[in-house]
Amino acid sequence: MRSIKELPINERPREKLLNKGAGTLSDQELLAIILGRGTAKNDVFALSKKIIKVIDEKGLDFKPEDIYEIDGIGEAKATAIAAAFEFVRRRIKPEGLKIKLATDVLPLIRHYGDRKQEHFLCVSLNGANEVMNVRVITIGLVNQTQVHPREIFADVISERASAVIVAHNHPSGDLNPSAEDIKLTGRIKEASKILGINLLDHIIFNAKGYYSFEEKGEL
C-alpha cells in the first residue's frame, strides 16, 4: 500500500470515510485514522499492519501493553487504540452478543473476507451462547492454512467456554469446502466431543457469501 501522501486526496482514509462511509475502509485504513500519523521508520499504514496482526491474535483480550514493543508505539497511541476498542465493544455487546444461529457471527468476522491469505478463526461462546472472544488461530498461504485442534482449543479451555464456532476465509472466492476442510472439520468435531465443548459450526466465507457445515447438515 502506498503512503498517505502518495494517494489521491479522495482516496486518503479520512476523506474516503467522509465521502464513502466507514464501511468502505479496510482495517488498515481505519486504524490509520486512529493513529493519525506514522513514524520516521514506519508510515502509518505499515504501523497499522503491525498492530492489526497483534489485535488479530489477541481478539477481545487486547491490551495496550501488547503493542508497546512495536517501534513508534508509546503509551499515547496504545491507549488511544485500547480506548477506541473498549468504546465500541461496550456498544456492540454491553451484556454479551448472544448467538441464536451460528451464522450470526458473520458480522464479527466478515472483514477477514478480503484477506489475501486464509485466516482460521475461532469464536468462543459461554453457556448462554454469548460471544466471549474472536481469535485468529493461524494465517496460511493463498489457498490453505494449517491448523491443529490443540491450537483451537488451548485458549478456549482456559477461558472455560462452552461452545465454539470456527471459520476461515477462502481467498480464491470458491466457498465450497476442500477435502482438507472436510477432514479438519471432522478432527475438530472429535476433539470437541472429548473436551465437552460444543462445535456449533464451521463456516467458510468471503466478502460476499458463506458456506455453513451446520446448515448443510455436514457437521
Which CATH number is associated with domain 102-212? Answer: 3.40.140.10
Q: Which long-range contacts (CB under 8 A, 24 or more apart) does 49-58 make?
A: 51/81, 52/27, 52/28, 55/85, 56/119, 56/135, 56/136, 56/139, 57/135, 57/136, 58/135
- pLDDT interval class at 144 (50, 70, 90): low
54-93 pLDDT tens trace: 888 877 778 889 888 888 788 888 898 888 877 776 666 5
- pLDDT interval class at 182 (50, 70, 90): very high
195-212 pLDDT tens trace: 999 999 999 999 889 999
- pLDDT interval class at 94 (50, 70, 90): very low
CATH 3.40.140.10 maps onto the chain at: 102-212
Dig out the grid coordinates for 25 from the structure: 475502509
